[in-house]
Amino acid sequence: MPSDPSNPAPASLSSLAWRQIVDSATDTAIISIDRDGRVVTWSEGARRILGWTDAEMIGRDLSRLFIDDDRATGRLAREMSDALLHGRGGGDEGWRARSDGSRVWAIGELTPIRDESGAHVGFVKVLRDRTLQRRVEEELAEERRALEVLNRASSTLAVETDLHRMVQAVVDAGVALSGAEFGAFFYNVLDANGESYMLYALSGAPAEAFAQFPMPRNTEVFAATFSGAGIVRSDDITADPRYGRNAPLRGMPPGHLPVRSYLAVPVVSHASGVLGGLFFGHATPGVFGERSERGLEGLAGEAAVAIDNARLAQERQLEIDERRKAEEALRELNATLEQQVQQRTEELHRNAETLRQSQKMEVVGQLTGGVAHDFNNLLQIIVGNLEVLRRGLPHDAGRLLRAANSAMGGARRAASLTRRLLAFARRQPLDPKPIDVNALVAGMSELLHRTLGETIMVETVLGAAIWRTEADPNELEAAILNLAVNARDAMPDGGGLTIETANAQLDAAYAAAHAEATAGDYVVMSIADTGSGMDEATLRQAFEPFFTTKPVGKGTGLGLSQVYGFVRQSGGHVRIDSALDIGTTVRIYLPRLVGAAPVEQEADEALLPASAPQETILVVEDDDDVRTNSVETLRDLGYRVIEAHDGASALSLLERQQRVDLLFSDIVLPGGMTGAQVAAEATALRPGLKVLFTTGYARDAIVHGGRLDKGLHLLQKPFTHAELAGKVRDVLDASNDGPRG
C-alpha cells in the first residue's frame, strides 16, 4: 500500500500512469485527502463535475463541496469516522456544491488509505454525478402522479350526474395536476347585454376573492378563452400586453388574489360550442409548463363530454317529468274508464283466486281425505303412548327421557304437517309476508316425502345467507307442491327431485333476453327432476292455462299456469329448462326484500362439542388455504390432524398411520381421484373409518351424476367453526350404518 495519500498508486504503477488512469474516469470524481480532511489530489472527473480546479482545491478542506446544512452538521467528520470504524463512510445520495454556486445531485463514498504497515495516512473520496437520473426519476414520478389525477377525475366524470359536483371535480383535478394555488370554472352564459357569466366552481380560494371580478367575456385577457380561440398560458400575466387594458381598474381589482402564473383552457363541446373556461393561477411566475398545458387540455376535453352527457340526462329527465304530468292529466280525464278497468281487474283477481283454489285442491285432494284422517289416528296413538311413557319415567331416567321428549317433538311436527295439509282446502286471500325460503323449504320436507311417495328421492340444497323475499307463504308452498307433483308424474318409475335455493343478480343483458324479467336482486328456488323432460313445442305452451300433457281426467292443466300467475303477481319471473329423457328444472325468481335480511343465529362457541382423547382426523383438500383453515380449526377443537392435498397422498397416509377415526375430504380433488373414490378405497382399507364430505359446488340441480348416495355425510362450504365442530362430532359419534338423525 502507498504511504503517501498524494500518490495512492499501486507499487507496480508509476504516479503518472496512475494519474492517467484516475483522470480517465471523467464521469467520476476521485479525490484523496489527508487525515485532517484537506484535499491532496483532485481528479479530472472532480474538475468536470464540481467545477473547481486543482489549484482551487488542493490543500483546502473537502467540506467545501458540501452544502451549508451538511457542513453545519459536521458531515465530513462523520464520514471520516465511519470510514475508519467500518471501512467506508457516506454512501447516501444528496446535494453537493459546485464552484459556480449551483448544486449537483451525487452519491459518494469515503474509504481510508493505509500504507504498507497498515497505518492510516488519509482517505479517498469517490463521487458520481446522478443529477440526470434524479431529474428523470422526478419526471417519471410527476407523470405517474398526473396520470393518477386524470384517472380519478375520469372515474368521477364517468359516474357523476350532478353537474355542480362534476365541474368541481374537474377544477380540483386541474389544481392538483398543474400545481396551481387556485382554480375556477366560469360558465359561458349571456344576458341581453352580453355581459353575464357564472362562477360555477372554485378550488383553493374563497368565493369572495372573485366578488369584484370584471365580466370575463369583456376582459381582453380572458376573451380568447370564452371565444374558444385556444389555450392561454403565461409565465407572468401582468406582463401580457392584453392585461390591464380594461377600464376602470387597468388590472386586477383591489382584494383579488395575486396572480403571476396564468393558465386558461376553454371547455368546448362538439355539440354546443364553448361551455366555459377553466382558469388557474399562482402568485409565483413560471409555474405552468407544457406538461400542465397538455394535461389540462385533456381534462377539459373529458369535462366537455361529461357536461354534455349531464345536460342530456337532465333534458331526458325533464321529458320524463313532462310525460308523467301528461299521463296524470290523462288519468284524471278518464276517471270513469279507470273505474271500469279497476272493477274488471278486481273481477279478474277473484277469478285468479278461484283458479288458485282449484289448483290447490287438485294437489292436496288425494291427501286430505284418506291420509289426514288415518295419519291423525296414528299420531294420536303415538302421542298418547309417549305421554304415558314420559309420565312413567323417573326424572333421572336420562337417556330414555330424552328419547321420549325427542319422539314427542317429532309427533308434534307430524301433527303440524297434517294441519298444514288441511289448511290448503280453506279459501284464503293472498297475504304477502317476508319469507325465509330456506326455512319454508325445510318445513315442507315431510309434506313432500308423504306426497311423492317412496319411489321419489327428495334432496334439498339450501344456499348460505339467502336473502328474504315477500310473497304469500301459503301460495308459495302450493306452487312448490304443484311443481313437485308435476315432477312426480314425469317419473312414473321413480327418480330424484332436487329443491335448491340461491341468491341471484339478473343483469340488463338477461332482462333484455327475457321479456318478462327485470334486472335486479332475486331469491331463486330451483325444482329439478330426473323425469322424461319436455320438447320445444311443449315448453312453449307449458304456462298456458288448461294446457296439459296428462290423459283426460288426470289433470286440469292449471298447475304451471297457477305458478306463473302467482310469481308474476309477486313481481317475479319463472323459467323452465328441460331436455327429453334428462329432466326438467323450474326456477322461480322472487324479488329480494331490501331491509328485511334474516338475522343469523351464531352458535355459542362455549357449547362447541369437545373431542375425545387421541381422535385423529385426515383432512384431504387441494386448496392450501382451505386445508390450513380446516386443519387449524380441528386442532383448536382438540383433535389430532393429519393432512393431504390429493387422493394418492391420503391413501398413502392411511397405510402408514396407526389410528385414523375420520376422513374429512373434498369431493373434487386433483390427480385423477374424486373424494368419493378416495373414500371407497379408504373404507376398504379401514372398514370402520368414518367419512365426512365437503364441497363448494352444487349449482346445477339437474345434473345428478355426482350426487352423494343416501347415507353419506356432507358439510356444505362455506361452513363456520361451530358448524364444522358440530358436524365432525356428529359423524364421529354416529353409528356405522348411516348418518345420525
Cα distance between residue 664 and residue 668, in whole Å: 13
Which residues have C-beta within 8 Å of that of residue 530, sequence separation ≥ 6? 491, 495, 496, 582, 583, 702, 704
Can you give the pLDDT at residue 414?
64
Can you give the pLDDT at residue 631?
92
Cα distance between residue 253 and residue 202, in whole Å: 18
3-class state of residue 694 by DSSP = strand
Report residue 238 as a C-alpha cell: 401582468
Nearest to 651 by CA among 695, 620, 628: 620
Architecture of domain 15-129: 2-Layer Sandwich (3.30)
Can you give the pLDDT at residue 373?
43
Beta strands in 510-594 (DSSP E): 520-529, 573-579, 583-591
- The owner of cell 363448494 is 696
Is residue 593 within 8 Å of residue 468, measured between CB atoms?
Answer: yes
Can you give the pLDDT at residue 665?
92
Can you give the pLDDT at residue 700?
34
Can you give the pLDDT at residue 322?
84
Can you give the pLDDT at residue 434?
94
Q: How distant is the alpha carbon of residue 38 from its chain centre? A: 64
* pTM for this entry: 0.34
Residues in the chain, pLDDT under 50: 1, 192, 196, 217, 248-251, 254-255, 351, 354, 357-358, 360-370, 372-374, 376-377, 380, 383-384, 419-430, 552-558, 597-607, 697-708, 737-741
473-489 and 335-368 helices, crossing angle to 10°: 60
Helix and strand element counts for the chain (H, E): 22, 22
Can you give the pLDDT at residue 641?
94
Same fold, 15-129 and 141-313: yes
Cα distance between residue 76 and residue 92, in whole Å: 13
Which residues have C-beta within 8 Å of that of residue 126, sequence separation ≥ 6? 28, 29, 30, 31, 108, 109, 111
| The CATH number of the domain covering residues in 431-440+452-600 | 3.30.565.10
- Residue type for position 569: Q
Can you give the pLDDT at residue 209?
62
559-569 and 473-489 helices, crossing angle to 10°: 150
Is residue 287 within 8 Å of residue 179, measured between CB atoms?
Answer: yes
Cα-flanking dihedrals φ and ψ of residue 603, to 5°? -70, 145
Can you give the pLDDT at residue 370?
43
Is residue 722 within 8 Å of residue 602, measured between CB atoms?
Answer: yes
Cα-flanking dihedrals φ and ψ of residue 691, to 5°? -130, 130
Element (H, E) at 535: none
Which residues have C-beta within 8 Å of that of residue 227, sequence separation ≥ 6? 266, 274
Element (H, E) at 393: none
Burial-class residue 432 by CB neighbours within 10 Å (0-12, 13-18, 19+).
middle
DSSP 25-66: -TTEEEEEEETTSBEEEE-HHHHHHH---HHHHTTSBGGGGB
Report residue 447 as a C-alpha cell: 309434506
Class of 141-313 in CATH: alpha beta
SS (H, E, C) 180-222: CCEEEEEECCCCCCCCCCEEEEEECCCHHHHCCCCCHHHCHHH
Give 96's strand partners: 66, 104
CATH 3.40.50.2300 for domain 605-733, yes or no, is: yes
Segments making up each domain of the chain, as ranges: 15-129, 141-313, 369-429, 431-440+452-600, 605-733
Is residue 663 within 8 Å of residue 682, measured between CB atoms?
Answer: yes
Report residue 620 as a C-alpha cell: 384431504
Q: How distant is the alpha carbon of residue 42 from its chain centre? A: 62
Can you give the pLDDT at residue 352?
57
- The owner of cell 289433470 is 555
3-class state of residue 89 by DSSP = strand
| ω into 241 cis (within 30 of 0) | no
